[in-house]
Amino acid sequence: MERPISETRWLRPEGCRGTSGCFNSARRFGVSLYQLTGRRFSMTGRGFKTTQCEVAMKRRTFIGAASAAAAGWSCASASPVVNATPEAPSVTDGGMLAGKTLDKLREEHRYWLFDDYLSFHDRFCVDREFGGFTTSLDRDGTKINTNKNAWFEGRGIWVMSYLYNSVRNDPDYVNVARMSVDFIMKHNPLGPELLPSQFTREGEPLTGPAQIFYGDMFVANGLQEFSQASGEDQYWDMAKKIILKCLDIYDHRPNYGNLPKTETSPEVVSPRKLGHWFVLLRSTTQMLEKRDDPELKAINDRAVEAVMDYHYNPAYDLINENINHDMSRIESAHGQLVVGHAPETLWMVLFEALRRKDKALFDRAADLLRRHIEVMWDDVYGGLMLGITHVDKSVWNTGKALWLQEEILIGTMCVIEHTGAQWAKDWFSKMYTYILEKFPLRQYGHPLWILYADRFVTYREHTSRLGNFHHPRQLMINMNALDRMIERGGKVSGHFG
């Protein structure tokens, strides 16, 4: 009988490599921190973004339970224990999701995307004279400065191109994307160096080459999507060349992204970072959807393996941000970090599993997504906290970022659409309700949503940046999912047969 995602929690035994083999032989885990310890966590401390607080948690109980789950099991002989209940047949509960019909949810997504975000974006962010995007904006659209950023150019190209390709065929979206492409191509992203991080409004570099490859990778992601919107295949080819350049730098440049020496940790030279793997993963997934390519497939395979078999830490069933360059575990505090990149990466693994039609990978990613939501959810004030600075010492970053909350909406919506799992419907509903209560600025007389906040999502009168990526991405992806779910009459997709 089909294994319901809602009933199974997997833990890869220590030393086991290989996603499919370990998944199929892993031990049932299936409990939250609350179930492990028998108590809610009382959290204290106030602050903005980087405030840390101690969470009352018995580490030996937490780690001990995880270890006990794997004890006595080997990759060769393990048999998972599951409850043989059928998967939920519908993406809704009685026709409702988050207390609303699918049509109502779809209309809310349309409103927040077109009437709220894009209206502001077109008026204040798009530079129709010099091309590109001005993102240093206050809440009323006042420009803090007119500088431009390689990250936000690449992200903006992707948003406008995806908007045209997948949401609404308005040729102006392609025109806006093209102006940003022309702006960034003046700086030769195909060259051996990384792009400058900052530019003047007119396009003059304000910095030397960036030290980390995110700007170039976001440009590559934008170009591959623009290639479809424009019908010009050369931009897909350019995107591939940029990705190969970035991967070569990541693999071979001395001292790339070193983690600094601290009072508790030695320097880590050229670490592997989860945030790097997920941009490689997401870009290659989208490119492979458009065209088969052995080199990109190899990068995609490598990224999935890095996330699921190396950054994944079986000691506590979470995904670490940092590991050593040789893919071994960092033994200092640098190796204890778990941040919002983990659940963000997991929805990208879900999407890649859909592309491959790999149900085992999909189920394992869904299970780990649920685990991270349960661990990172703030039982006192709601929402997901930015991360765990030190897992074993239970030191938390209690800030609330909109992007992290919205990554959970994408991931749970994906699980709902393709399985109807009850846990995903419950968490989507809880997260959606929380976000709409806390983040929209309409309640304070402004457009858009709060981008970063403290633990309590305290309103601040001024801000310094428009987020031009995560928010519209979530609205577009989930609006498309809702369209498909409505078209199917609320039935699950049947993608895996």
pLDDT of 278-311, one tens digit each?
999 999 999 999 999 999 999 999 999 999 999 9
Average pLDDT of the segment spanning 398-416: 99
Looking at residue 325, its amino acid is H
Q: What is the pLDDT of residue 184?
A: 98
Distances in Å between the Cα of 475 and the Cα atoms of 84, 163, 166, 497 are 35, 10, 12, 28
| pLDDT score recorded for residue 112 | 99
C-alpha span between 63 and 325 (Å, rounded): 26
Residue pair 360/24 in contact (Cβ under 8 Å)? The answer is yes
The residues, any chain, with a CB within 8 Å of residue 15's CB and separated by 6 or more, are none
Distance CA 3, CA 81 (A): 10
More confident residue, 44 or 491: 491
Confidence class for position 86, pLDDT limits 50, 70, 90 = low
β-pair type (387-390, 10-11): unpaired
pLDDT at residue 441 greater than cutoff 60: yes
pLDDT at 315: 98
The tens digit of pLDDT for each residue in 93-115 reads 999 999 999 999 999 999 999 99
Q: What is the DSSP string of 212-280?
A: STHHHHHHHHHHHHHHHHHT-THHHHHHHHHHHHHHHHHHHSTTTTPBPP-SS---BSS-EEHHHHHHH
CATH number of 275-461: 1.50.10.10
Lowest mean pLDDT across 52-61, 259-268, 405-414: 52-61
Percent residues over pLDDT 70 in the chain: 82
Top pLDDT among 24 and 341 is at 341
User: What is the predicted pLDDT for the residue at 87?
Assistant: 47
Q: What is the pLDDT, as a whole number, of residue 314?
A: 99
User: What are the b/e assignments for 354-367, b being 16+ CB within 10 Å?
Assistant: beeebbbbbbbbbb
Q: What is the DSSP letter of 148?
A: E
More confident site: 407 or 80: 407
The predicted-structure confidence for 138-157, as pLDDT tens digits, reads as follows 999 999 999 999 999 999 99
Bridge partners of residue 453, in order along the sequence: 400
* Cα gap 364→118, rounded to integer Å: 36
Q: How high is the pLDDT of residue 50? A: 37
pTM: 0.84
Residue 77, pLDDT > 70, answer no
Per-residue pLDDT band at 39 (split at 50, 70, 90): very low
Average pLDDT score, the chain: 88
Residue-level pLDDT at 89? 66
pLDDT of residue 479: 99
Beta bridge partners of 440: 449
Higher pLDDT, 138 or 16: 138
The owner of tokens 């052995």 is: 294
pLDDT band at residue 226 under the 50/70/90 scheme:
very high
Interval 328-346 mean pLDDT: 99
| C-beta of residue 87 within 8 angstroms of C-beta of residue 487 | no
